[in-house]
Amino acid sequence: MSRHHLAEFEEVVMLTVAILQDEAYGVAIINEIEQRLKRKVSMGSMQTVLKRLEQKGYLSSAFGEATQRRGGKRKRYFMLTTRGKSMLEGVRDQRTNLWDAIPEIIVSD
Amino acid sequence: MNHIPPKIPLKFFRWFCHTDFQEDIEGDLVERYLQKIDEKGVRYAKWYLWLEVLRLFRPSMINWSHKRLIPASGSMLMSYCKVSWRNILRFRLNSFINIAGLTLGITCFLLIFLYVDHELSYDKHFADADRIYRVYTKENSGDQELGSSSYATTPLPLADAMKAELPEIEALTSIRDQEVLIVTETNSTLEKGLWVDSQFFQVFDFVLLQGNPSKVLTEPNSIVITSALASKMFADENAIGKSLTVQVRKQKRVFNITGVLANPPEQTTLKFEFLAPIEQYTHYRNNWDTSDSHTFITLQHSAGVEDVEAKIPDLLKKYRDEDFWTEYRQEEFKLQPLADLHLSNHINEDIGLKGSNTHINVLSMVAILTLILACVNYMNLAIARSLTRSKEVGVRKVIGAGRGQLMIQFLAESWFFSLLAMLLSVGLVYWLLPVFSALLERSLVFNPFNEEVIPIMVIIVAIIGLISGSYPAFFMSSLKTSSVLKGQVASNRPSGLNLKDVLVIGQYAISVIMIIGSLVIYSQFQYLLDKDVGYNRERILVISITDFPSHDRFESLKAKWLMNPHVAAVAASWQLPTSITSNGYVEYEGHDAENPKVLHRTSVTEDFLEVYGLELLAGDGLGVSINDPSGILVLNESALKSLGWTAEDAIGKRIEHRGMVVGIIKDFHMLSLHHDIEPLMVRRSDRAMYRYISIKLKPSSLSNMQATLKAIDEDVSANSDFPFEYQFLDDKYQQLYASELRMSKLLNMFTILSILIASLGLFGLSAFNVFQRTKEIAIRKVLGASAITVISLISRSYLGLVLVGFLVASPIAWYLANQWLQDFVFRVSINWWVFAFAGLATAVTTLLTVSSHSIRASLANPAHSLRDD
């Protein structure tokens, strides 16, 4: 396995965190993924991935403000770390390399 | 609008979630909940919240170091274990009863589970098991045999037609089963085998150790044998290429062994030791009237059973010549899944070993009941002890134990007991299994480390622990600390029925049902054995001969045996009076073609009526000279009624192809008592074939009998290649009811066990009761109560409960027993003494159980128990 390896869902979550910039907290990330990719995401699987990415050092997190709508609980905002950013770029470069290597997409039916 | 999220899921979430991320995720949950309300409404949102919480319950989210996940951490946990252990040791009798009761219950359950599992696993081992069907014949003419109009066999040409015309069929094989004599230079043995066609291995994937499945049966004289038969006949030598002789009746043929099969699994309906090509029976190939082969098919994945069945009538139109019989009989051909074969008993002339649905149902019920009995014991003793334990609960609560902790403590205790009982049961099952297997005539295997058995055992332990521990766990943990410590629970007993009494009543009701059930089965069995069936069953030796000697040979043997002073009469017959199942339509003078009659029939020699003591009502016996080319007949009374004849005009009438009626005999039970008496003709003819010789012996000493038997053995062996096989008719008769006998034995065993379990419980209960009332009894004695008064004081309350249990159980038992008896045309009526006996038996066991404690209490010196205060 190469150094630049991310599971598909991990990649999606990291990209979404990047998209949301300063607004990347739990519910926002889920909504963003559901809207953009039209797929159902459970909080359980997403939180697990967030924790894992944070452990790997690709994301960092910090508590934010509490709101009435959240029953007085604070939000946890996630941010991309430098490692995370270079990781994402590495993954993209790998993909681009692969795409560049294809002369023309041939499909069989 | 309801904006407050449901509390329970959030509480649960807070309980398991790691504190580090509890706050923000809970916030997320709430926010998302409100969002879902806006999108899809409150109901959906609530449901969704539950789902989200459950999906968050995963290892990465759970706080493992959190003490709330472990019921009592550290010193508290130690304290629980210590107290539980002390409780077990302190109340030794109590613990013993609990463990013994649970062990007995679990042992019963495991044994029965093994049996039921075994019975349900027949024929499931084939790769295509769910696509294999058996084709059977259903007669729509109203013609019945033994109460069923379905027959397992089909004509051979049907198989050919189905193979040729139905694309839904992936593979098809025709099978005939037969017992033959297999002979090599050194050995000879009687073995069951199957004559099969070449697609056999495509339908049934039996494993060939040697040989290619597509080639082993292509040559007409090839034979495939099991490795068991191979080692029996050839020891360690390679069997392939060797030859053996197969003898069917008097025909001998030499076969070459082309393959060796791995021994077929135990749970296979098709039992055989060899396979040989069915082409031996090519003379039937085009005969639609001879229905004697079994047809098995594998359907394509996409094919539907009904579609295939629906196409068969067209096949018949195309392939079969219509004649009177085909038009009259209106046969239908149906498919039955292979998996149903072992437990289907309604199809005549079926192949293979049969199980019994009744046995499975009754035993499953017994298994669950005994388990309940055992749980109830535990609960009862727990309730009895709740007085002492409630103080413990009170103190624990004062120290700060939560309700959850207490519940888990009590549940853990009962789980510990059931785990211990399970371990003991495993040992007991090992020990009892050979006896149990022999009783059921199955070879059951118990492997506690089997991946199917382990989960079952875990589930049993979990459920038993939960049920038996539920009362102490849920009730005792809810007690109010203040009232417990003031001792108010004790005085709080309701005067009417309480849970404990209801449980005792239930227990005894179950026992009474089982006692009545086994008594009814036993009395029906005795009735079957003792019933006058209309023929003689005593001192009749029955020899079965596959290659029956010629008539002249038989006559000379008979003459020789009759010279023996211990032999009274000798006759040969095709079937025995215990079970005359052959039957067919008859044509006779003035018969109505629209409404043909069926008569059962058997062929016999002249002394048959005499050997079996069949009573002649009119005309002559079969001893008169045969004046009709087809033979002479005697009819039974039912046959007269069916044909609409009187005794006078019957004699001298002819039945086409069968012979002339010369006499009328009294009805006798020519089938087992599950069935009615059928119209019957007993025929004597010069051309008949026989399978049995029946010899009526005179009363004589055992040594004379043995000498006679030996002489007969020598004579028969000199005239037959097959091993000498004999039986006394008594035994043959008993075999008709082997299934009832087995059921009776099993139920007796389990009834005794259930009484034992219930008595154990009552024993413990009364011990506790007496212990609690020690002072009361002492005071009564001081005031002048006699020992008898004290004993009756204690026994009375239990007797009352048992009586109520009996009243509850009686109607249920009556209903169940009646259901079982419906299987028999001839049955006992359920007698009042059955109930009286069951009631008396439970009452006596109750008194005996309670008496040891009550007597001790009544004899104790009151000074000892009163001195303490």
In the predicted model, is pLDDT for residue B756 greater than 80? yes
- Residue B72's pLDDT band (cuts 50, 70, 90): very low
Q: What is the pLDDT of residue B302?
A: 86
- Could you give the CA distance from residue B218 to residue B279 in angstroms, rounded to a whole number? 10
- Could you give the CA distance from residue B66 to residue B16 in angstroms, rounded to a whole number? 8
Contact between B352 and B271 under an 8 Å Cβ cutoff? The reply is: yes
- Residue B721's pLDDT band (cuts 50, 70, 90): confident
Between B460 and B85, where is the model more confident?
Answer: B460
- Could you give the CA distance from residue B355 to residue B58 in angstroms, rounded to a whole number? 46
Mean pLDDT of B240-250: 86
A89-98, Cβ contacts within 8 angstroms, sequence gap of 24 or more? A90/A3, A90/A4, A91/A4, A91/A5, A91/A6, A91/A11, A93/A4, A94/A2, A94/A4
pLDDT digits 0-9 by tens, B797-834: 888 888 999 999 999 999 999 988 988 888 888 888 88
pLDDT digits 0-9 by tens, B96-132: 888 999 999 999 999 999 999 999 989 988 988 889 9
In the predicted model, is pLDDT for residue B91 greater than 90? no
Contact between B566 and B547 under an 8 Å Cβ cutoff? The reply is: no
pLDDT digits 0-9 by tens, B608-617: 999 999 988 8
- Judged by a CB distance cut-off of 8 A, whether residue B62 touches chain A is no
Measure A24 CA to nearest chain B CA, in Å: 12
- Could you give the CA distance from residue B683 to residue B817 in angstroms, rounded to a whole number? 40
| From B80-89, B537-546, B664-673, the region with the lowest mean pLDDT | B80-89
Q: What is the pLDDT of residue A1?
A: 42
* A-chain residues near B5 (CB < 8 A): 71
In the predicted model, is pLDDT for residue B564 greater than 70? yes
Contact between B3 and B37 under an 8 Å Cβ cutoff? The reply is: yes
Between B654 and B489, where is the model more confident?
Answer: B654
Q: What is the pLDDT of residue B107?
A: 93
Residue from A49, A70, A74, A76 to probe the interface with B (highest B Cβ count within 10 Å)? A70
- Could you give the CA distance from residue B693 to residue B572 in angstroms, rounded to a whole number? 4
Mean pLDDT of B230-259: 87
Measure A69 CA to nearest chain B CA, in Å: 6
β-pairing, A74-80 vs A59-66, is: antiparallel
Of B24, B35, B56, the CB nearest to A44: B56
- Could you give the CA distance from residue B740 to residue B737 in angstroms, rounded to a whole number? 5
- Judged by a CB distance cut-off of 8 A, whether residue B52 touches chain A is yes
| From B26-30, B238-242, B855-859, the region with the lowest mean pLDDT | B855-859
In the predicted model, is pLDDT for residue B551 greater than 80? yes
User: Would you call B29 and A43 a contact, using CB atoms and an 8 Å cutoff?
Assistant: yes
Q: Which two tokens stand for residue B739?
A: 């299934």
Residue B777 CB neighbour total at 10 angstroms: 21
- Could you give the CA distance from residue B299 to residue B133 in angstroms, rounded to a whole number? 8
Contact between B609 and B689 under an 8 Å Cβ cutoff? The reply is: no
Identify any residues that bridge with B178 across adjacent strands, giving them in sequence order. B193
Residue B597 CB neighbour total at 10 angstroms: 17
Burial of B62 (0-12, 13-18, 19+ CB in 10 A): middle
Please give the full DSSP string across A19-33, using - where no structure is assigned.
HHGGG-BHHHHHHHH
Please give the full DSSP string across B551-575, using - where no structure is assigned.
HHHHHHHHHHHHTSTTEEEEEEESS
pLDDT digits 0-9 by tens, B570-582: 999 999 999 888 8
- Could you give the CA distance from residue B141 to residue B822 in angstroms, rounded to a whole number? 25
Parts of chain A with a pLDDT under 50: 1
- Could you give the CA distance from residue B251 to residue B177 in angstroms, rounded to a whole number? 17
* B-chain residues near A25 (CB < 8 A): 24, 28
Contact between B87 and B409 under an 8 Å Cβ cutoff? The reply is: no
Q: Which residues of A touch B (CB under 8 A)?
A: 25-27, 30-31, 42-45, 47-48, 51-52, 63, 66, 69-71, 73-76
Say what the ipTM of the complex is.
Answer: 0.86
Please report which residue ranges of B246-333 form alpha helices under DSSP H. 305-319, 324-329
- At residue B859, the 3 state secondary structure works out as helix
Nearest C-alpha neighbor of B679 from the set B646, B649, B637, B720: B637
Largest separation between any pair of C-alpha atoms in chain B:
108
- At residue B824, the 3 state secondary structure works out as coil
In the predicted model, is pLDDT for residue B174 greater than 60? yes
In the predicted model, is pLDDT for residue B511 greater than 60? yes
User: Would you call A43 and B56 a contact, using CB atoms and an 8 Å cutoff?
Assistant: yes
Nearest C-alpha neighbor of B188 from the set B228, B239, B246: B246
Q: Which two tokens stand for residue A14?
A: 């990291």
User: Would you call B25 and A25 a contact, using CB atoms and an 8 Å cutoff?
Assistant: no
Mean pLDDT of B42-60: 85
CATH class of A8-94: mainly alpha
Q: Which two tokens stand for residue B165?
A: 């015309």
pLDDT digits 0-9 by tens, B581-640: 888 888 887 777 777 788 898 999 989 999 999 988 888 888 887 777 788 899 999 998
- Could you give the CA distance from residue B751 to residue B514 in angstroms, rounded to a whole number? 6
Of B23, B55, B57, the CB nearest to A73: B23
- Could you give the CA distance from residue B39 to residue B818 in angstroms, rounded to a whole number? 61
In the predicted model, is pLDDT for residue B497 greater than 80? no
Residue B795 CB neighbour total at 10 angstroms: 19
- At residue A43, the 3 state secondary structure works out as helix
pLDDT digits 0-9 by tens, B513-550: 999 999 998 899 999 888 899 998 888 999 988 888 88
Measure Cα distances from B450 to B126, B243, B419 in Å.
20, 41, 18
**Using N-to-C axis directions, what is the helix angle for B19-40 and B42-56, rounded to 10°?**
150
Please report which residue ranges of B646-786 form alpha helices under DSSP H. 647-650, 702-719, 729-735, 738-772, 774-782
Q: Which two tokens stand for residue B537?
A: 């069953």
User: Would you call A27 and B58 a contact, using CB atoms and an 8 Å cutoff?
Assistant: no
User: Would you call A48 and B61 a contact, using CB atoms and an 8 Å cutoff?
Assistant: yes
**Share in percent of chain A as helix, strand, coil (round to 5):** 60, 15, 25
- Judged by a CB distance cut-off of 8 A, whether residue B32 touches chain A is yes
Q: What is the pLDDT of residue B451?
A: 75
In the predicted model, is pLDDT for residue B324 greater than 70? no
Of B21, B31, B55, the CB nearest to A27: B31
3-state secondary structure B113-175: HHHHHHHHCCCCCCCCHHHEEEEEEEECCCCCECCECEECCEEHHHHHHHHHHCCCEEEEEEE
In the predicted model, is pLDDT for residue B653 greater than 50? yes
